[in-house]
Structure 1
Amino acid sequence: MEKLIVFFKISGEALSILRFEKSHQNQILLLAILKEIMNLELIDKSKFDLLRAFRSKEWIEEQKHIISATDPSALNRYQLVLRDGIDEIFRLFVSGETDEMRDLADALHCLGDAIQNKNGWDEFGFWASYIVPYEKKWRKQTFKKHKRKLPFYLRIRIFFLAALHK
């Protein structure tokens, strides 16, 4: 479970930085960090060091000691959403769609924190606050560009609806 928590925390921080990052070089560095943590078999607390170009040494050390989960089963389920979103972020970057890439990073950056909220995981609230604004903004352009592939926001909508009806 620790590997999964570290994955959510590092990806959340990298996405949080990426959502406002304008420097192409820093975007590449952040994507490299996300790529590095995609394999849970190889992840451990030392991977927080990957963020050293963006965060202080003190912050990194503090994060290494805050590894706990309030809802491990939700983290396990939603890792698929986060992984799919990160894959979509890579695709958007490669295709030069950096505005949409940053908006998707903004929509996903706090997924892990929202799941671990001490007041409980509010799937509907997360959907309404983070995914719906992304979907509304990008829906028309996405259908024009990707007629064959189901857009990310529709894949995640299906996932959320299925989770809400369990």
Structure 2
Amino acid sequence: MTLLGPIVADHSQQAKSGEGFGKSAFTIDWDLRQATCPRGKTSTPARTLRIKGHEYLQFRFAKADCLACPDRHPCTASATRPRSIALLPRPLHEIQVQNRLDQQTEQWQRRYAIRAGIEATLSQTVRSNGLRRTRYRGLAKTHVQHVLTAIACNLTRTADWIAETPRGRTRSSRFHTLCTAAAG
């Protein structure tokens, strides 16, 4: 079984702004538990920390190295502290990096489009048929309710297809509406 879903991009301030060095710019020596910055400076050995219940490795650089660095301003927002990066442990980090690369491919996007269609079906059954709530107690009765809800969803879609009911238009943002009104 493969979990298919998008992984958020590097959300560090440097990666978001496009300036400085995102986490991917650092070279990691997993055996020594050290990171090397793009300027060649090496971090202290990583320490383990927990962030929101997840284990991370924090790589901290020496204050003297960071204060003297010509790329200090785009690399860190702190005026006094050195740069540090937090990464998942090696096996998870490598999976994360690979998944970020994979989600840029056309094949991954085609596979994810299937999931998006399923998500739309689930959203429809939750909104129109109350799928999140069960009227019954017990797994067998709840299963019957889910089957009947799926049948109702399929019948509704079949009736709309036979009647050639037009699909609802995707809503436009206020900004998009303003732009199209100004252009026209």
Q: Which has the larger radius of gyration?
A: 2
Task: Please report the TM-score for the alignment, with normalisation by the length of structure 2.
Answer: 0.26
More helix by share: 1
Q: Of the two structures, which has the highest relative contact order with CA contacts closer than 8 Å and spacing of 6 or more?
A: 1
Task: Please report the TM-score for the alignment, with normalisation by the length of structure 1.
Answer: 0.28
More strand by share: 2
